[in-house]
Amino acid sequence: MFFRAVLRGLLSLALFLLGSKRVTGYEHVPASGPFIVVTNHMSVADAPLLFLVFPHLRLRFFAGEKWERHIIFGPIMKAVGAIYINRGEVDRRALREALNALASGSVFGLAPEGTRSRVRHLIEAKEGAAYLASRAQVPILPMGVVNTDVIWENALRLRRTRLEVHIGKPFTLPVGKRAKGPELEAATHLIMVHIASLLPERYHGAYADSPALAALQRGEDPWPYCLAVARNREPEPEPAPPTEQP
């Protein structure tokens, strides 16, 4: 606990030097776990920011196996909840550890894209987040992070960056524990359009033309459109209501 408090203090100081943060949507955060926080990922600053946004939660998260061997960051990341994962293959050990953490009531944070986007907008997501959420049957809390993609170039120009964090309403995946194939792909798409809906249009990237995103922004159920994307077809229109004969 003391170590986490010291680390949080150091990160807060770093954030003060680099810029500021504004968080909206705290009212959507569940009082306790288990649940999964999903967010976009454009910078190494995203993980520390997540740590600062949820100071009352003991977050678990995936980290690439390369960090495990780092003489400084390896032990620090492990101490604050990292589960090291081999990104080049299906790491069943890491997945089991994550599922066990959720089963024990932990909160898990991850970026469905699986890696940093180097094009400053959303890229196609992998199915890891949907897999965990479906197997664990836990809620998903979407989060959109704005301006971490420019924080370092601003720092080089001695400019501070105003970071924005937008937290959306939690939702659950409309799939069972054994979802796979098109269902898992559709669930991944659903997660990503929830994240995209919290971001400015310039960040929508791979999901900019998603009918599911458009439906969500209209206040409609995006799930049929997610299934349509996964199955590569348009959703069937609802039958028109019968009209009265004169």
Angle ∠(34,94,82) on CA atoms, nearest 5: 65
Question: Residue 138: which domain range?
Answer: 18-174
- 149-163 pLDDT tens trace: 999 999 999 999 999
Give strand pairing partners of 173: none
* pLDDT score for 233: 57
Q: Are 226 and 187 in contact (CB under 8 A)?
A: yes
* pLDDT score for 240: 46
Q: Is the pLDDT of residue 213 over 60?
A: yes
Say if 242 falls within a structural domain. no
Conformation bin of residue 185: beta by default, left when phi > 0, alpha when psi is -120 to 50: alpha
With a pLDDT cut of 90, the percent of the chain lying above it is 65
* pLDDT score for 92: 84
| 225: nearest Cα among 189, 180, 178 | 189
Say if 182 falls within a structural domain. no
Q: Are 18 and 162 in contact (CB under 8 A)?
A: no
Say if 76 falls within a structural domain. yes
Say if 12 falls within a structural domain. no
With a pLDDT cut of 70, the percent of the chain lying above it is 92
- 174-212 pLDDT tens trace: 999 988 899 999 999 999 999 999 999 999 999 999 999
CA atoms within 13 A on the CB side of 219: 0
Q: How confident is the model at residue 1 (pLDDT cuts 50, 70, 90)?
A: low
Q: Is the pLDDT of residue 130 over 50?
A: yes
What is the token pair recorded at 10? Answer: 């150091």
Say if 234 falls within a structural domain. no
Please measure the distance between the N-terminal and C-terminal CA atoms of the chain and give it in whole angstroms: 75
Say if 69 falls within a structural domain. yes
Say if 70 falls within a structural domain. yes
Structurally, the chain folds into a number of domains equal to: 1
Say if 203 falls within a structural domain. no
Q: Determine the Cα–Cα distance for residues 52 and 44; give it in Å rounded to an integer.
A: 14
Query: Is 57 or 203 the better-scoring residue by pLDDT?
Result: 203
* pLDDT score for 246: 35
Q: How confident is the model at residue 239 (pLDDT cuts 50, 70, 90)?
A: very low
